[in-house]
Structure 1
Amino acid sequence: MTTTTDLEYKIADLETQLAFQEDTIQSLNDALISQQDQLMTLQKQMAALAKKMKAIQPSDSLASLDDETPPPHY
């Protein structure tokens, strides 16, 4: 048979564990929110870069590089 003191100790222990778990969950939630913000920023940057890449037209100097003969050591 458990005494009242034992039950109080067990309840206090459970309350302590619960407090630590709630803190851990909040920390994980904060980290997830931060990572989601970073991901959204990166996605926007990637979309902007893709748009710029599509807008770039090959210049005559870049096209002429493809037509050049290889160096003599080839």
Structure 2
Amino acid sequence: MSNTKDLLSRIEVLETQAAHQDQTIEDLNNAITEQWTQFEKLQREISKLHAQMEEVETSGGGGEVDERPPHY
């Protein structure tokens, strides 16, 4: 009888651990999903900024940075 109680106790511990691990896996999955969404958003922003920089450079707005002022 004691052996059965020990087995039931061990099974209960294992079930509890499995439940905690399932929750941890779900939490990690949610964190990864959120980070991936942020990563994609940042990639889009970088692409927009790159396009804006190219536009400025091609429109002549990217002149010489080291130009001397006219009073020299």
Instruction: Show structure 2 runs of 5+ residues with no match.
Output: none
Which position in structure 2 is the counterpart of 1:58?
60
Cα distance in 1 between the residues matched to 2:34 and 2:67:
49
Superposed CA RMSD in Å reads 2.0
Cα distance in 1 between the residues matched to 2:67 and 2:45:
34
Cα distance in 2 between the residues matched to 1:45 and 1:24:
32
User: How many percent identity over aligned positions?
Assistant: 33
Instruction: Show structure 1 runs of 5+ residues with no match.
Output: 70-74
TM-score (norm 1): 0.79
TM-score (norm 2): 0.81
1:46-73 superposed Cα distances (whole Å, 9 cap, x missing partner):
000000000003349x54x63316xxxx
- Tell which has more relative contact order, 1 or 2 (C-alpha 8 A, sep 6+): 2
How many residues were matched structurally? 66
Cα distance in 2 between the residues matched to 1:16 and 1:67:
71
